[in-house]
Amino acid sequence: MRVSQEVMSVLDRATCDGNALSLVALGSLDRKLYTDTNKVLEAAGGKWNRKAKAHLFEGLASDAIEPIILTGEIVSVRQELQQFYTPADLAERVIAEADLRPGMRVLEPSAGRGALAAPAFLAECLVHCVEKDERNVHILASTAFEQVVHGDFLECEPTAGSYDRVLMNPPFTRDQDIKHVEHALRFLRPGGRIVAIMSGGITFRQGRAAAFRARVAEMGGTIEPLPADSFKASGTSVNTCLVVIDV
């Protein structure tokens, strides 16, 4: 079941408290928009409770709606939303935007299996990777990358001016992609560039996403929505966009 961006925007602004999701704070919604939103909530497992004036879920309401906002579809709340490995054609697009040159120092944070690091290495760059999953670390360590660090990228302390390029496809849920990109900016030297695949939610969500959009615009960066099937090869319909920022 596909979900319209109007409904996803309503879900993003809804109030989640434990297993309850309330639309009360949004005021009066257009009847059609409310009906469409209610259908989505019910399909996701939410049941209207008149006394609570909210839709109640078996588990956390936020866990039920986050996958919907990310994918634009009704999906299982148990679907893994953290490791969307970068398809080859999308990796090519990232590399093209990065404008790599031999000898550049390149970082891929949360590198997964090195879908972005590998073509950077082939472009004769000095490639460093950071990866949290030990299974992927073993895969990365079997390559000729200059350095592979086993750990959480958000816990890595940056050395200012370390890299010419940061290429990344970070985790998406709960603004993790924004946190990763903001942290990665601290690793770039003047004249450096970040090319990041991010959740499509940053194009319309409020709160931290709105502040991030403003920061990208202030820095002269770009946010380009990617086609809906960009991650089809990775087995997901998650909505994504490509962000390019120069420092």
Instruction: Give per-residue pLDDT as tens, 49-75.
Output: 999 999 999 889 988 888 888 878 875
CA separation for the pair 231, 233 (Å, rounded): 5
Buried b (16+ CB within 10 A) or exposed e, 166-186: bbbbbbbbebbbbbbbbbbbe
Q: How many CA atoms lie within 13 A of 229 on its CB side?
A: 2
Predicted model pTM: 0.75
Place of tokens 């999906």: 75
Going by C-alpha positions, the residue among 151, 145, 157 that lies closest to residue 105 is 145
Amino acid at 29: L
pLDDT at residue 135, rounded to an integer: 87
- 77 compared with 27, residue with greater pLDDT: 27
236 neighbors 43 (Cβ within 8 angstroms): no
pLDDT at residue 79, rounded to an integer: 44
Q: What is the DSSP letter of 125?
A: -
Domain ranges in the chain? 5-71, 88-246
- 15 compared with 75, residue with greater pLDDT: 15
Is the sign of the CA dihedral 207, 208, 209, 210 positive or negative?
positive
Per CATH, is 88-246 categorized as 3.40.50.150? yes
In tens, the pLDDT along 183-224 reads 999 999 999 999 999 999 999 998 999 999 999 999 999 999
CA separation for the pair 171, 79 (Å, rounded): 14
